[in-house]
Amino acid sequence: MPDTTTASTNTPASSTNTPASARDGVDVILDQWKAARPDLDCASMGVVGRISRASRLLERALKDEFARHGLEPWEFDVLATLLRSGPPYRLCAGDLSAAAMVSSAALTNRVDRLVAKGLVERGVDPTHRRRVLIRLSDEGLRLTNQVLEAHVANETRLLAALSGDRQDQLAGLLRALLTSLGDSGTE
């Protein structure tokens, strides 16, 4: 049976045990389900609902930060993938597609748009003429490093309500959930 207790009190993790000042929108929904179907344990709804709501709120905040730098989230994703590949900040199209977790057709469109903005350059691999290489341009490298610093600061701000220990705990719990759902880190 799954553990439905809170770490701080070892009491059941239900919305009725949550102080009014700490309640969120999911608590209201859980209360409604408890009234409508008292026979049904909806604790899993609370977890999945909170993950889903947090994801939407975080994605919105990340998108707003990227927009301040004139980028869409997908643009930063491609640029950051090239940056984290290390010098010379280039990957063949297939490797970039796999690392960015997008189809080759989607990647072609994205690279075309980034080339038009002068942030990446496309070339032929001199050792394998049929292979296309995509690399950060000088401007792309400069912008990606600048946005990366702002992005990390934004993520730090977004998680500031959680202490470092709680962030580590949450990361571990989410890692366990992701791996149980089949995320092996190789996709």
Q: Model confidence over 144-167: pLDDT tens digits?
A: 999 999 999 999 999 999 999 999
What is 44-177's CATH topology?
A: Arc Repressor Mutant, subunit A (1.10.10)
Distance, CA of 25 to CA of 50 (rounded, Å): 9
* Cα distances (angstroms) measured from residue 79 to each of 49, 59, 98, 121, 156: 31, 18, 14, 11, 21
pLDDT band at 65 (very low <50, low <70, confident <90, very high): very high
- Eight-state DSSP code of residue 17: G
Q: Model confidence over 13-59: pLDDT tens digits?
A: 445 566 666 899 999 999 999 999 999 999 999 999 999 999 999 99
> What percentage of the chain reaches a pLDDT higher than 70?
87
